[in-house]
Amino acid sequence: MTFVESYGPWAIVAGASEGVGAAFAAAVAKEGVNVALLARRQGVLDEVAADISAEHGVETRAVAVDLAAPSAMGTVADATKDLEVGLLMYCAGADPNYHPFLANPVEVATAMVRRNCTALVEICHHYAGPMAANGRGGIIVLSSGAAFVGAPNMVIYGGTKAFDVVFTEALWSELHSQGVDVLSLVLGETDTPALRRLRAERGFVDDAHVPLPGVATVDEVVGDALAQLPHGPSFMVGEHLRSGLQMLGGMPRNDAVDLMMKAASATMDHDAPA
């Protein structure tokens, strides 16, 4: 089957305003699949949708929604109720703050749990049923190397991404025999606008618009995701991440956490103890 026959006629991309999500949306549009884009900023989404439609000639739909809001699933379902969705890509859930757990009110943490876990469960449940009934479709969920070992300033982020990995792998175990491809795509550091801004804010780079050296590119992430989707349940992007997680997996967990503490200090926090 063609890509459209397997995963069309519509895809939903959560977290589509920039970075990996916007690149995913453009990549599937290039294959001829119409795209519904989800993110919080309507104006930015409208621009992304217009650019995709103009370049690839597909239909687009921009849906402004805060995936941390209790009403998020209702908003998304209502905005897409007339669409046949064959592909879901959940790219939302980055942590723009990189703060200690106690640095913010608990509502900041619970909002991330809702965005990274609860909303993901709701949106997968809503769209996976019709996919399974049709005997085709695909689901890609982005996770992170932070899911595998605890580290400072990533308490909730790492915990929610660990949920995402196990949830997605388990979903594959139930759906792949029904014709639905499911993939947990695990990322290490990736050259996204969000990471550039965070690095600039913390003084590790001078210009948030300059590509970051030595990290995975957005094109690499998207290419690996679409290539690996039929072969789930999990794929780790980049040889650096794969070798690093293999090394950590062979260590006692206490030693692995200690190593991650030191690595976090060296790469993200000038003020952290060595």
Residue 146's Cβ-side half-sphere holds a number of Cα atoms within 13 Å equal to 23
pTM of the model: 0.88
Q: Tell me the pLDDT tens digit for each residue of 89-131.
A: 999 888 878 899 999 999 999 999 999 999 999 999 999 999 9
DSSP annotation of 188: -
User: Considering 7, 90, 98, 157, which one is annotated as catalytic?
Assistant: 157
Are 47 and 16 in contact, with CB atoms under 8 Å apart? no
Tokens of 160: 């929610």
Q: Tell me the pLDDT tens digit for each residue of 190-241.
A: 666 666 566 666 666 655 666 666 777 888 999 999 999 999 999 999 777 8
Are 34 and 8 in contact, with CB atoms under 8 Å apart? yes
Q: Write the CA distances from 111 to 57, 93, 104, integer angstroms.
A: 36, 10, 12
Q: Tell me the pLDDT tens digit for each residue of 21-70.
A: 999 999 999 999 999 999 999 999 999 999 999 999 999 999 999 999 99
Are 92 and 67 in contact, with CB atoms under 8 Å apart? yes
Asked if 157 is an active-site residue, the reply is yes
